Amino acid sequence: MNMKHLNKIILAIAAVFALSSCDGYFDVDLKDQATLEEIFSQSTSTHKYLAHCYSFIPVDEEIVGSDGWTVGRSDESRYSWYQWVYYELYRTGSYSSATPSSATYYNYFSKFYTGINQCTIFIQNVDRDKQDSEAVRKNMSYEARFLRAFYYYCLFRQYGPVYIWGDGPANESITPADCDRHTVKQNIDFMVTELDKCIDNLPMEIGEFESDANYRGRVTKGAAMALKARILLWAASPLYNGGASWLKGIKNIYGDEIFPSTEDPNRWEEAAKASKDIIELNKWTLCKAKSASGVAFTDGFNAYQRILFDAWNEETIWGWWKRTSSAYSYMGGAGALLGCSCPNFTDKSITWGFGGIAPSLKLVDTYAMYDSGRFPVTGYEKNNDGNDYSRPIVDAKSGYKAEGWTEGYKQPVNAPWAPAFKAHNSTIGREPRFYASILPNGFYWPDKNSPKRFTCYSGKEATAPWAASGSAVRVGYAWVRFYPINHPLKAQTDYTGLKHVYPAFRMAEVYLNYAEACNEKPNRDEAEALKYLNLVRERVGLKKIEEAYPEVIGNKALLRTLIKKEKMVEFAMENMRHYDACRWLDAEKEYPCDNWTLKCTSENYEDSYQRVFDEFIGGPAKFEKRDYFFPVYSGDLAKMPNWTQNYGF
């Protein structure tokens, strides 16, 4: 052994041992991680953070598998394609706080609180942005403030009042035992106060500060006013204003009664004023037909179509580009709804036609008669399971015929190319919104490039025949409101290429909210109520309400009923009906029913216009007192042991 080798080895060993004391070996200069400071120091990334604050906006436009699920819960729709879209669970009341979040679409409790937290972080940090002007920063700050209030509203509409953090950040070390809901009043006052600040500070147009072309859709003063008006209307409504006896006296752990025990009629005045403020801005009007056709009926139809298909129209106060939940992403935002509501024609002229989304018979019955301007059905006789849709109480003055056929009928609008056919009398003489929304069995599919009659029954010649499972129109009426006339649907791009703006707030709601508040407020203003109700009717060519119903003058209750019907029709499947039916405390009376459909299993067209309740599998629709709010999921409750769960759960 030679000493040189030895020295080398000892040196090598010594060298590596020397390293072992070195904690610095693991030091990493990460540098990849932008810090919060950096993110907020630049304009682009600050805007992206704001975009993230927007990303919590509920997918209300998606009415099958996302936040818009309340459409399926209400009495305006009846989905036939329900095997994996849990809405059957809601309709039959088969849910509880134990229902796992995987089987619900309403479990957005923590999602919205996450959004609230993100907005607060944004508000606290936005002023670090030195690349944007103070005006731009202030604007963004108030947008986040609006969104935070909006997310509280999203919680409020599902769960009733919730815990309010106020303007400050959430306390991460809050003791779980200290968490409970605040009162209705505290919730509403907080949201309204915050919205007032937004109204004072937000611009009328985002284009006042930043590129309108790039940023249309960010919230403006109008959005804040519209949300405030809606919240105040809710605050005046029976559910939140002492009308629900079973909610009285429930106290939170802080000792406060969660729901008010007496009605505060002044809430109606506040609601009326909030709506009137918007009207007085004279900024938004109802959509009108692009060009006059000379036929009032057709103009009404075209005007109503523009609401959903003409982006950023004059009626939209605030809206957003339609998105979709991941389940339907392959069809694109607008296409998801469309595919689910289109008939599955046997010739496959519509790819992804599933026929699942369909109107309920009640919605079909509600549309007014065009000539008389009256609503054809005033109610239903009751059976054990609630409303018996086979026995509608028909208003004789309306001109509606529940039975019989008309030969040689020409479709009044949307398919001028279609030949005359034999139509059921109940589908004849209805108002333009009926034909814009509903395609009855026997009518022509409104695509001139693919002329085809839509028939759904069990016979061999039916073009979209009944099927017990899978994809079929099983109510007897297809839902065409989401379909732009003559749009081809043969390829995937036909769906993904459709881009629509979902109107989160539109002027028709403001008018109807105002009319409702004027009718209800202590200092009742019937003239104003009629005026604004009539604006909505006139847009689609319907008579003034007092001409159709001379008896409405001086009749607060009748006017209330007519406003409710008008709203159900005007906002069909826009995720409005359920929250209205709840705040009016109507859902208990209106929802329960068997699964009424047309008799689509019949062998021929003529027999298919009978009403039956035994073709749908599934239990009858139920709605009980507990169902006005949804339960907080048990997994969330476990982390807040003293949270006051909603009534009945």
Partner 1 sequence: MCNSFKKLWAATIAALAISVGISNAQALRTITGVVVDETNLGIPGAYVVVKNETRGSITDVEGKFSLDVKTGDVLQITFLGYQDQEVKVGDQKTLTIKMVPSEDLLDEVTFVAYGAQRKASVIGSISTIKADALASPAGQLSSGLAGKLAGIVSLQRTGEPGAGSDFWIRGVNTFGANAKPLILVDGVERSMDLVDTEDIASFSILKDATATALYGVRGANGIVLITTKRGQESKPQVNFKAEYGLTQPVKLPKLANTSQWIDYYNELYVDAGSAPVIDDYQREMYLSGADPDLYPSVDWVDTIFKNLANTEKINVNVTGGTKGVRYYVGASYYMEDGIFNVVKDKDYSKYDNQIRFDKFNFRSNVDIDITKSTTLALSLSTQYYTKTTPGYDLGEIYAYTMYSTPIASPPVFSDGTLSNSDGGWNPYRMLNSSGYKRATNIVAQSLISLTQDFSDIITKGLKANVKYSWDADNGNVLGRLLSPTLYYTIGRDDDGKLIYKPWNEGTNYMYLSKSNSSYTTTNLEASLTYEREFNYAHNVSGLLLFSTRNRYNNVPANFEQSFAYKNMGLAGRATYSYKDRYFGEFNFGYNGSENFAPGKRFGFFPSIAVGYMISNEPFWEPIKETVNLLKFKVSYGKIGNDQIGGSRRFAYNSTINTNAPGFTFGTTPQGMGGITTGEVGNSLVQWEEALKFNAGIELTLLSDLSFQIDYFSDHRSGIFIERQSTPPIVGLNKQQWVNLGEMENKGVDMSLQYEHHFGDLYVSARGNYTFNRNKKLYDDLPDQIWSYQNLTGFAYNQQFGLIAEGLFKDQEDIDNWPKQDFGNVRPGDIKYRDVNGDGIVNTFDKVAIGYTTIPEINYGFGVSLGYKGIDFSVFFQGVSHVTRIIGGQNLFGASSQIHKLGQIYEDVALNRWTLENQNPNAPYPRLSLNKVDNNQQPSTYWQRDMSFIRLKNMEIGYTIPKKLTSKIGLSTVRFYAQGMNLLTFSKFKLWDPELDSSYGNVYPTMRTYTFGVNLNF
* Residue numbers 501-560 binding partner 1 by CB under 8 A: none
Q: Which listed range, 9-17, 189-197, 256-264, 584-592, lies at the site for partner 1 (CB under 8 A)?
A: 9-17
What is the closest distance, in whole angstroms, from the C-beta atom of residue 226 to partner 1 in the complex?
18
Residue 320 touches partner 1, criterion: CB under 8 A: yes
Report how many residues bind partner 1 under the rule CB under 8 A.
Answer: 98
What crossing angle do the helices spanning 109-125 and 134-159 adopt, rounded to 10°? 160
What is the closest distance, in whole angstroms, from the C-beta atom of residue 216 to partner 1 in the complex?
5
- DSSP H stretches of helix in 282-358: 296-309, 333-341
Residue 168 touches partner 1, criterion: CB under 8 A: no
Could you tell me which residues come within 8 angstroms of residue 344 by beta carbon, excluding any fewer than 6 positions away?
350, 353, 354, 355, 464, 471, 472, 473
Which residue bears the tokens 């007014």? 368
- Residue choice 43, 92, 285, 378 for contact with partner 1 (CB under 8 A): 92
Our CB check for partner 1 shows the closer of 116 and 572 to be: 116
Buried b or exposed e, range 202-231, using 16+ CB within 10 angstroms? bbeebeebbeeeeebbbbbbbbbbbbbbbb
**Rounded to whole angstroms, how far apart are CA atoms 44 and 50?**
10
**Rounded to whole angstroms, how far apart are CA atoms 442 and 370?**
20
Residue 82 touches partner 1, criterion: CB under 8 A: yes
Positions in 95-134 near partner 1 (CB under 8 A): 95-96, 98-100, 103, 109-110, 113-118, 121
Residue 34 touches partner 1, criterion: CB under 8 A: yes
- The continuous run of DSSP H or E covering 44 comes out as helix 43-54
Residue 636 touches partner 1, criterion: CB under 8 A: yes
Judge residue 39's burial from the number of C-beta atoms within 10 Å of its C-beta, 0-12 exposed, 13-18 middle, 19 or more buried. middle
- Residue choice 269, 315, 447, 615 for contact with partner 1 (CB under 8 A): 615
Q: Which listed range, 129-137, 168-176, 183-191, 234-242, lies at the site for partner 1 (CB under 8 A)?
A: 168-176
Residue 325 touches partner 1, criterion: CB under 8 A: no
Mark residue 255 as left, alpha or beta (left: phi above 0; alpha: psi -120 to 50; beta: remaining): left
Residue 328 touches partner 1, criterion: CB under 8 A: no
What is the closest distance, in whole angstroms, from the C-beta atom of residue 458 to partner 1 in the complex?
8
**Closest listed residue to residue 461, CA positions, set 587, 355, 603:** 603
Q: Which listed range, 49-57, 415-423, 503-511, 542-550, lies at the site for partner 1 (CB under 8 A)?
A: 49-57
Our CB check for partner 1 shows the closer of 249 and 470 to be: 470
Residue 204 touches partner 1, criterion: CB under 8 A: no
**Closest listed residue to residue 328, CA positions, set 84, 53, 575:** 84
What is the closest distance, in whole angstroms, from the C-beta atom of residue 464 to partner 1 in the complex?
15
Q: Across the chain, which distance is largest between two alpha carbons, in Å?
A: 121
- Residue choice 41, 390, 634, 644 for contact with partner 1 (CB under 8 A): 634
What is the closest distance, in whole angstroms, from the C-beta atom of residue 215 to partner 1 in the complex?
5
Our CB check for partner 1 shows the closer of 118 and 427 to be: 118
Q: How far is CA 293 from CA 288, 290, 307, 542, in A?
A: 12, 9, 18, 16
Residue 327 touches partner 1, criterion: CB under 8 A: no
- Residue choice 104, 127, 136, 179 for contact with partner 1 (CB under 8 A): 179
- The continuous run of DSSP H or E covering 291 comes out as none
Residue 83 touches partner 1, criterion: CB under 8 A: yes
Q: Which listed range, 24-32, 373-381, 519-527, 586-594, lies at the site for partner 1 (CB under 8 A)?
A: 24-32
∠ Cα 202 159 72 (to 5°): 95
- The continuous run of DSSP H or E covering 238 comes out as none
Positions in 415-454 near partner 1 (CB under 8 A): none
Task: Compose the 331-350 pattern: x for residues touching partner 1 by CB under 8 A, - for all others.
Answer: ---------------xxx--
- The continuous run of DSSP H or E covering 141 comes out as helix 134-159
Q: How far is CA 160 from CA 155, 304, 482, in A?
A: 7, 33, 31
Residue 384 touches partner 1, criterion: CB under 8 A: no
Our CB check for partner 1 shows the closer of 5 and 522 to be: 5
Phi, psi of 244 (to 5 degrees): -100, 100
Residue 396 touches partner 1, criterion: CB under 8 A: no
**Closest listed residue to residue 219, CA positions, set 320, 296, 130:** 320
What is the closest distance, in whole angstroms, from the C-beta atom of residue 170 to partner 1 in the complex?
5
- Residue choice 396, 468, 527, 553 for contact with partner 1 (CB under 8 A): 468
- Residue choice 105, 156, 163, 477 for contact with partner 1 (CB under 8 A): 163
Positions in 586-605 near partner 1 (CB under 8 A): 601
Our CB check for partner 1 shows the closer of 113 and 409 to be: 113
Q: Which listed range, 45-53, 196-204, 433-441, 522-530, lies at the site for partner 1 (CB under 8 A)?
A: 45-53
CA torsion sign for 252, 254, 256, 258 is negative
Name residue 603's beta-bridge partners.
none
Amino acid at 479: W
**Rounded to whole angstroms, how far apart are CA atoms 482 and 305?**
9
Q: Which listed range, 88-96, 257-265, 431-439, 538-546, lies at the site for partner 1 (CB under 8 A)?
A: 88-96
User: Is residue 553 within 8 Å of residue 534, measured between CB atoms?
Assistant: no
Our CB check for partner 1 shows the closer of 367 and 505 to be: 505
- Residue choice 13, 204, 292, 527 for contact with partner 1 (CB under 8 A): 13
- Residue choice 60, 61, 62, 88 for contact with partner 1 (CB under 8 A): 88
What is the closest distance, in whole angstroms, from the C-beta atom of residue 110 to partner 1 in the complex?
4
**Rounded to whole angstroms, how far apart are CA atoms 196 and 200?**
6
User: Is residue 144 within 8 Å of residue 115, measured between CB atoms?
Assistant: no
Our CB check for partner 1 shows the closer of 339 and 446 to be: 339
Our CB check for partner 1 shows the closer of 57 and 229 to be: 57
